[in-house]
Copies of this chain bind each other. A is one copy, B any other.
Amino acid sequence: MTRDVGVEESPEVWETRRARAALARIVEPGDERAGRWLEELGPVAVWRAVREGGQPLAGASAHRWAGMRLRAERTDPDRDLAAIARLGGRFVCPGDGEWPRQLDDLGASRPIGLWVRGPCSLRLVALRSVALVGARACTDYGAHVAAELGGALAERGWTVVSGAAYGVDGAAHRGALAVGGATVAVLACGVDVDYPAGHGELLRRIAADGLLVAELPPGAHPARSRFVQRNRVIAALTRGTVVVEAARRSGSLITARHAERLGRHLMAVPGPVTSGLSAGAHRLIREHATLVSDASEIVELTGAMGEVAEEPARPVVPRDLLAREAAQVLDALPAVGARDAEELARGACSSPEAVTARLHELSSLGFVERVGDRWQLCR
Chain A positions near chain B (C-beta within 8 angstroms): 141, 144-145, 269-274, 278-279, 282, 285-286, 290-291, 293-294, 297
Which of chain B's residues have a CB closer than 8 A to the CB of A273?
145, 269-271, 293-294
Which of chain B's residues have a CB closer than 8 A to the CB of A270?
270-273, 278, 282, 285, 291
Which of chain B's residues have a CB closer than 8 A to the CB of A272?
141, 270-272
Which of chain B's residues have a CB closer than 8 A to the CB of A285?
270, 285, 291
Contact of A293 among B141, B279, B291 (CB under 8 A): B279
CB-CB nearest in chain B for A273? B293
CB-CB nearest in chain B for A286? B291
Could you tell me the distance between the alpha carbons of A141 and B297 in the complex, rounded to whole angstroms? Answer: 24
A286 and B282 contacting across the interface, CB-CB below 8 Å: no
Chain B CB within 10 Å — which of A273, A279, A294 has the most?
A: A273
Could you tell me the distance between the alpha carbons of A203 and B107 in the complex, rounded to whole angstroms? Answer: 64
Could you tell me the distance between the alpha carbons of A274 and B273 in the complex, rounded to whole angstroms? Answer: 14
Contact of A274 among B145, B278, B282, B290 (CB under 8 A): B145
Which of chain B's residues have a CB closer than 8 A to the CB of A145?
273-274
Could you tell me the distance between the alpha carbons of A294 and B144 in the complex, rounded to whole angstroms? Answer: 25
Answer whether A290 and B294 are a contact pair too, CB < 8 Å, given A141-B272, A270-B271, A272-B271: no
- Report the 5 A-B pairs with minimum CB-CB distance, sorted nearest first: A270-B270, A273-B293, A285-B291, A282-B293, A286-B291
Which of chain B's residues have a CB closer than 8 A to the CB of A290?
286
Could you tell me the distance between the alpha carbons of A273 and B242 in the complex, rounded to whole angstroms? Answer: 14
Which of chain B's residues have a CB closer than 8 A to the CB of A294?
273
Which of chain B's residues have a CB closer than 8 A to the CB of A297?
286
CB-CB nearest in chain B for A279? B293
Could you tell me the distance between the alpha carbons of A309 and B320 in the complex, rounded to whole angstroms? Answer: 63
